[in-house]
Structure 1
Amino acid sequence: MKILIVDDEALARKRISKLITEAKVTDYIFEASSGKEAIQSILELKPDIIFLDIQMTDMTGFDVLKKIQTPYIPTIIFVTAFDHFAVKAFEVQAIDFLLKPFKKDRFFEALHRGINRIRLNEREAFASKINNLIQFLENEETSLLEKQHKYLERIVLKLGKKYYFVETKDVKHITSSAYYAEIYTYSGKKHIYRISMSDFIKKLDPKEFIRINRSTILRLKEIKEVITEGIGGYSITMNDGKSFSLTKTYKASFLKKIDIKNS
């Protein structure tokens, strides 16, 4: 059995791969870091199960499925950081999904359901469900993300047995540590949130926040200076004096956002 993991976040792929290995169901685990790479991998490898992230940088998971409308449809387990409409769509079609951040037990449950579907030879029935899901989404007047993507106004955090809230308007910048985000507020406090930076930035209003490297998200209005470092390099200084590097991956979108000509 071949399993393909499709996610543009390396840490997310690594965690899923680790859990599959722990489940001891196969040694044939493959990865794709973009929609384009996923399409190529699916057509070449013909995996039995795919863990498919919905929102990637180049296209959505649904776009990937539209590109592989062939007689061969593998078992898909969708992975998403968004709920509401996405969850409703999956439940209507009885299609499995994992809502990030998911727990180990929930992952194993989805994995073994996918394996059982293969053993029962339910490929045709599942392919029909996938086609119905795509049709369901296409019939909507607005896209999935436009309809249900509400940016966070406050972040729900857990400390021990208690839950508390941090207003996004109080956040100055965010850095990452492994799969955890470190949230720094105007009060000088640091809060820990279990989420990848790729998923976190999708939840934040792009008018307020921007990602400048793999491990840093900044509040736009807190940026004081952008300094050229030579050979196309830039550093960013905040109002509080902290400095961060702007990396190549995020340079073009950042400079466009703040209206600086890329040179």
Structure 2
Amino acid sequence: MAKLRTVIVDDEPLALKLLGSLLRNNKYIEVVGECRNGREAVVAAAQLRPDLLILDIQMPGLNGFDVIKKLQSDLVPLVIFCTAYQRYAIDAFDLHVVDYVLKPVNQERLDLALQRAVARFEKELPGEDHKAQLIGAIDDITQRASGRRLDEEPGSLSSGSAVAADRKIAIPDAGKILMVDVDDIDWVDAAGDYMCLHIDGVTHILRSTMKTLSARLDQQKFRRIHRSTIVNMERIRQVTSQPRGEYLVELDCGAELKVSRNFREAIKEYLQAH
């Protein structure tokens, strides 16, 4: 099989160098990028389209979890987290079938994680949503750390009660309830039973389905541009044509999102109106 194109991410230069050296002789891995922070990782994932991301969790600024939340679903590759987290987090990774290596990284444990990644890559289905598993683990860890679970909060949209008459959505956030104005949403990304609401550079996780949340949004203002992506059309700064009839939209917040061919009519209508 072809080697897995891999991007490695760690804010500590020595840790990044060690990880690179451990991967150098692995016959299944080709390191195509090295990143020293979360922002570089987001850019690398979008531009390089790697098969595998080996990602440090605890980084200043954007941490490893933030990187995953910021990526459009079909840009999320297989992920191996590098972590020094406590046991409750490791249990969550195991529960959601998300692979990890503990720091300091050793060759034997890394090789095991890589073997699992190769096996998953060989049998995965086209368009498989890795982000859903990752977001599930991230949410579980966040809720355990705060002592609450998402399904105990009134932030689920399953009953529709989370959207108030004044167009606000209640989102659980580390034991608190954050009231978000619908019109402030820049874009939305679906990950299984979770929705990632991107607002002013911050990503909030909400348990809901695409269908349920979409029904709560202004259909003229919020349009689907991908099977898993809804965008606030008023936030579009630039539209660029891509090969195979696709578009790339850049939003005011700096996010760059792919428009699939099945939903390109929404962008055509937007361009004709402007």
Instruction: With the length of structure 2 as denominator, give the TM-score of the two structures.
Output: 0.48
Q: Which position in structure 1 is the counterpart of 2:106?
A: 103
Cα distance per residue 1:133-190 (max 9 Å; x no partner):
23324545729xxxxxxxxxxxxxxxxxxxxxxxxxxxxxxxxxxxxxxxxxxxxxxx
The answer to whether the 8 Å contact 1:75/1:126 transfers is yes
Q: Gaps (5+ residues) in structure 1? A: 144-263
CA distance in 2, matches of 1:59, 1:23: 29
CA shift digits 1:41-100 (9 cap, x unpaired): 111111101111000021221111110032232000000122222212111112110011
User: Matches of 1:27 and 1:140 in 2, distance apart?
Assistant: 35
Q: Secondary structure at the match of 2:113?
A: helix
Contact 1:17 / 1:29 at 8 angstroms: preserved in 2?
Answer: no
Which of 115, 118, 122 is 2:121 aligned to?
118
Distance 2:43 2:96 in 1: 26
**Contact 2:6–2:50 (Cα < 8 Å) also in 1:** yes
1:50 maps to amino acid: L
Contact 2:45 2:75 in 1 (8 A): no
CA distance, structure 2, for counterparts of residue 55 and residue 46 of structure 1: 23
What is the aligned partner in structure 1 of residue 49 from structure 2?
46
2: distance between equivalents of 1:30 and 1:65? Answer: 17
The correspondence for 1:67, drawn from 44, 65, 70, is: 70
Q: CA separation in 2, counterparts of 1:78 and 1:102?
A: 11
* Matched length: 144
Matches of 1:45 and 1:79, distance apart in 2: 21
Are 1:133 and 2:137 matched, yes or no? Answer: yes
CA separation in 2, counterparts of 1:125 and 1:68? 12
Aligned-CA RMSD value: 2.2
Gap runs ≥5 in structure 2: 148-274
Q: Which residue of 1 aligns with 2:82?
A: 79
Per the alignment, in what secondary structure is the counterpart of residue 82 of structure 2? strand
The one-letter code sitting in structure 2 at the alignment partner of 1:129 is Q
Taking structure 1 as the reference length, the TM-score comes to 0.50
User: Residue type matched to 1:130 in 2?
Assistant: L
Deviations 1:202-238 (A, max 9, x none): xxxxxxxxxxxxxxxxxxxxxxxxxxxxxxxxxxxxx
CA distance in 2, matches of 1:124, 1:27: 22
Structure 2 letter corresponding to 1:118: F
Task: Tell me the percent identity.
Answer: 34
User: In 2, are the aligned partners of 1:6 and 1:13 still within 8 Å (CA)?
Assistant: yes
- Residue identity matched to 1:97: Y
